[in-house]
């Protein structure tokens, strides 16, 4: 797991990776196998990361292409073009310094997984440009959809950028602290609203974490960035 402090991030669009007929057939086969294993998967539009580069001492360039979720299967296809996930996540602290984490619902693509609020980036409509402001708006929308927050996009502060072993890159933002009771009440209100509409909330549970040790009491797996990020933001980095 890599963590960067990059106050400058530039996003550059490139063409969708060209595939041979063999690579496309292998990708489609692996995707169909994944859908049979988890019917919650869907093949919607996605901004796929094709390259990450340093931009001077304090910047990053993220090159992305318009693709769909099935392109993730290319990771398992030998000699296929690099195609990783690009996502945003939000560090939401409570008033006492703990960090909010949520467990993905059974109806999601990653049931039972603990993570920060956030989600995969979708490409802008038409020929629209994807930029840092767009990532910030997406992060605010994920906060509203997953924990019921009304934090405005311009209140989010750019934080760490992460890259996992599988190449996925996450751009993190920090939200202003809120009282723990308010965070729980907003989430409970969101759950009631979603349930009344006949839908499952994206998180079936939330918790507040004060240190990496608290992660051990969570039931289920967690995303690869979670422990190092918790270490960083709680001041327990090694």
Residue-range domain boundaries for the chain: 2-233
| Tens place of pLDDT per residue across the chain (238 aa) | 999 999 999 999 999 999 999 999 999 999 999 999 999 899 999 999 999 999 998 999 999 999 999 998 999 999 999 889 999 999 999 999 999 999 999 989 899 999 999 999 999 987 789 999 999 999 999 999 999 999 999 999 999 999 998 899 999 999 999 999 999 999 999 999 999 999 999 999 999 999 999 999 998 999 999 999 999 998 865 4
| 2-233 fold | Nucleoside Triphosphate Pyrophosphohydrolase (3.90.79)
Q: How far is CA 56 from CA 8, 27, 60, 61, 62, in A?
A: 10, 36, 8, 10, 13
Q: How far is CA 162 from CA 5, 75, 85, in A?
A: 9, 18, 12
Residue 21 burial (10 A CB sphere; 0-12, 13-18, 19+): exposed
How far, in Å, CA of 157 to CA of 116, rounded?
15
């Amino acid at each position: 797991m890599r963590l960067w402090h990059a106050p400058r991030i530039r996003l550059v669009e490139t063409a969708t990776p060209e595939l041979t007929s063999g690579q496309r057939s292998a990708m489609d086969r692996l995707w169909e196998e994944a859908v049979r294993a988890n019917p919650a998967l869907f093949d919607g539009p996605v901004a796929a990361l094709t390259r990450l580069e340093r931009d001077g001492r304090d910047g990053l360039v993220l090159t992305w292409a318009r693709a769909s979720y099935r392109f993730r299967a290319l990771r398992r296809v030998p000699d296929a073009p690099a195609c990783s996930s690009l996502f945003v996540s939000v560090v939401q602290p409570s008033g006492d310094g703990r960090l909010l984490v949520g467990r993905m619902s059974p109806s999601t693509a990653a049931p039972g997984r603990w993570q920060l609020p956030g989600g995969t980036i979708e490409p802008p409509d038409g020929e629209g440009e994807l930029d840092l402001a767009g990532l910030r708006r997406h992060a605010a929308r994920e906060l509203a959809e997953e924990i019921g927050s009304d934090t405005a996009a311009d209140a989010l502060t750019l934080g760490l950028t992460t890259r996992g072993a599988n190449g996925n890159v996450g751009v993190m933002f920090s939200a202003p602290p809120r009282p723990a009771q308010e965070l729980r009440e907003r989430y409970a209100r969101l759950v009631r609203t979603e349930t009344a509409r006949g839908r499952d909330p994206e998180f079936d549970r939330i918790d507040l974490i004060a240190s990496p040790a608290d992660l051990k009491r969570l039931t289920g797996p967690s995303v690869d960035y979670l422990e190092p990020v918790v270490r960083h933001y709680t001041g327990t980095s090694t």
